[in-house]
Amino acid sequence: MRLIYLLYFLWKADYKKVWQSIQCQKQNHNPWRMAFDAVYCSLYYGTSLIDYFNLRFFEKNKETREQFASMLFMYKFHKAMNDPGLIEEVDNKINFAKNFRGLAGPSSVFSIDSKEDIGRFLKWVIDEGGDGFVVKDPLGSTGTGVTFAEYVSDHQHFIVDGAVYEKEGFLQRFAAKGLLYAEPRLRPHPDLAQFAPWSLNSVRVITIVTKDLKVDIVAAVFRASVGTKVDNFSSGNIAAPVNVETGEVTGPARKKLSACSPLYDTHPKTMVAIKGFRIPLWDDVILTAKKAAMVFPAVRTVGWDIAILKDKVVILEGNTKWNKDTAQIPGDAGLKKQLQQYL
């Protein structure tokens, strides 16, 4: 079975990132030794080739490697923890907006198959889009399928990802999407805006519903954009570990391509200090995550992306197959032993 997974990892590997990681570490570690060790770790620990570099296994001993949840472990973990019949109720953004009303931010869902629905969408844009709005792919993840736009009322045109559209062109831009999930653009709490004012700079909070229906928080991570409008870790941005009890950022940030990433004590563009920063409204963040976890307790583990606004917190989305990288790479600490107790 391990051999089958190895062949899968070899087939699916992002060799460009693997090669990039090898190049970043070749002065400190023998490239051939790392390559063979990466294959060995795939067989022994169930890691993918890029896991080996992102989890920095090239500098870890056997005991430390055992502490990390690998791709294979997480596949089995998510499959065991979450009711497959309810996953779409959380992951699909349209279902999410309906099921988590009151916990999620304001949003609307549009079908633009009819003139009536097109008119409704345009009215919403004109009413809500002056300060910016976001259109998302209902099935998108890792920051993909996100479009930022605004309506400029003075000139009655639309700006979509920096390009100017008149009314007809704007509608054609979205006509092929069928269903649209749209929300007003949210503005972050001033304390978070100082890191990267062009992005929300949210937190990822991972919950697990225990067998006696209590909610545990197993990890929390602060994410900040380094240039893109989204702050997703998988989009090349940075993340840092957060103390679940206090909301304090406990260490420097890293990028997901960890073998090539320095440690960021300060934000690389705004130079705001990361370690020691206390996330505002932290009690509300934890309470909101715990409430959301109990909406579908049979979906026992979810990674919640939570935005902290000026006077409240809102959940942006839930991820039933939350990424082990976001939870483990920033603090360079494994979660495997902690997660095993829930199986």
pLDDT score, position 126: 76
CA distance 177 to 71: 32
pLDDT class of 111 with cuts at 50, 70, 90: low
pLDDT score, position 4: 75
Give the Å distances, CA to CA, from 90 to 140, 227, 255, 323, 335: 13, 28, 27, 15, 23
pLDDT score, position 262: 95
The pLDDT mean for the chain works out to 89
Return the CATH class of domain 189-340: alpha beta
pLDDT score, position 7: 76
pLDDT score, position 127: 78
pLDDT score, position 176: 61
Could you state, in order of their start, the residue ranges of all structural domains in the chain? 2-66, 108-184, 189-340
User: pTM for this one?
Assistant: 0.88
**Does residue 144 or residue 311 have the better pLDDT?**
311
Give the Å distances, CA to CA, from 252 to 6, 67, 139, 327, 332: 33, 21, 32, 14, 10
Chain-centre distance for alpha carbon 176: 26
pLDDT digits (tens, 9 = 90+) for 73-97: 999 999 999 999 999 999 988 889 8
Q: What is the mean pLDDT of residues 18-33?
A: 96
pLDDT score, position 178: 63
- What's the half-sphere exposure (Cβ side, CA atoms, 13 Å) at 251? 17
pLDDT score, position 140: 63
CA distance 68 to 335: 6
pLDDT score, position 36: 94
Question: Does position 105 have pLDDT exceeding 90, yes or no?
Answer: no
Question: Does position 54 have pLDDT exceeding 60, yes or no?
Answer: yes
pLDDT score, position 136: 75
Structure tokens at 164: 């100017």
Q: Cα angle vertex 178, ends 172, 184, to 5°?
A: 80
pLDDT digits (tens, 9 = 90+) for 117-154: 677 877 877 777 667 888 877 666 655 667 888 887 76
pLDDT digits (tens, 9 = 90+) for 255-309: 999 999 999 999 999 999 999 999 999 999 999 999 999 999 999 999 999 999 9
pLDDT score, position 159: 85
Phi and psi at residue 331, to the nearest 5°: -95, 0
